[in-house]
Structure 1
Amino acid sequence: MSFMNDDIRLMTELGEAIRAARVAVGMSITELADQSGRVRDVIYRLEAGKDTSLTSLFAVLSVLKLTLRLEPAGRPTLSQVQARFGLDDEDE
C-alpha cells in the first residue's frame, strides 16, 4: 500500500489515503461509517478532503487500523511539487 509512505500535506491527499486504505481492506463507505459510529456523509467528506472533526478523523483511522505521525515538513522535493501541480519536464 504505497499511500502508507506518502507525505501528506493537504486535506485532499489525506482523503485519498483514507479512501485507498478503505478500498484496500475491501470496506464500503457504509461499513466504515457503521463501524466508526459516523454517518456516511462524514466518510464522503473525509475522502473528498473536506473539513470534518478530529474526533471523526480518529474514529475512522481507528477502524482502518491507521495512526498519524507528525514530522517536520521541510521543503517538498521537486518531484512532490511536480506531482502536486501536475507538472512535467516540458512545463519548466
Structure 2
Amino acid sequence: MTDTVRFAEDLGLQLRQRREAMGLSKKDLAERAGKVREVIYRLESGEESTISSLMAVLRALGLTMRLERAGLPTMEEIAERFNRDEDADEDTGGGHAA
C-alpha cells in the first residue's frame, strides 16, 4: 500500500480498507490499538483525532507513515475527490434539487 493521502477522508479510507483486508472489526482494531472503538469510527470517517491515536492505530494495522514534500493535487485527484463527495450526497439523499 503506497497510496498518496491528501485529505483526511483518504486516510480514513485507507485505514478502513486495511482493517477489512485483515479481517478485523472496528472493535478488534480498537482493542489491538489500546483505544476505544469511537477512535476507529472517527479516523475512518476522516474526523478529528489525536496524533497518538492515529499512530496507535497505524501500529495495530502494521502500517507506518512517511512524509514527503507535496506539490499541488493533480486535476485527477481533485476531480476524484469532488466525485466522491457527490456520490456520498446521492447515497444519503443530500443531493441537489433539480
For the criterion TM > 0.5, the same-fold answer is yes
In structure 1, which of residues 14, 27, 30 is the aligned counterpart of residue 11 of structure 2?
14
Partner of 2:92: none
Aligned to 1:65: 62
Deviations for 1:25-80, whole angstroms, at most 9, x for unmatched residues?
11110100111110000110010101111111000000100000101111222211
Mind listing any 5+ residue stretches in structure 1 that lack a counterpart? 88-92
* Aligned CA-pair RMSD: 1.3
Unmatched segments (≥5 aa) in structure 2: 85-98
- How many residue pairs get aligned? The number is 84
State the identity %. Answer: 46
Q: State the alpha-carbon separation in 2 of the partners of residues 13 and 54 from structure 1.
A: 16
Correspondence 1:47-62 to 2 at 5 A:
47-62=44-59
User: TM-score, normalised on structure 2?
Assistant: 0.80
Q: Which runs of 4+ in 1 moved over 6 A?
A: none
In structure 1, C-alpha distance between the alignment counterparts of 2:72 and 2:47, rounded to whole Å: 24
Per-residue deviation at 1:5?
A: 2.4
The question of 1:29 aligning with 2:26 is answered: yes
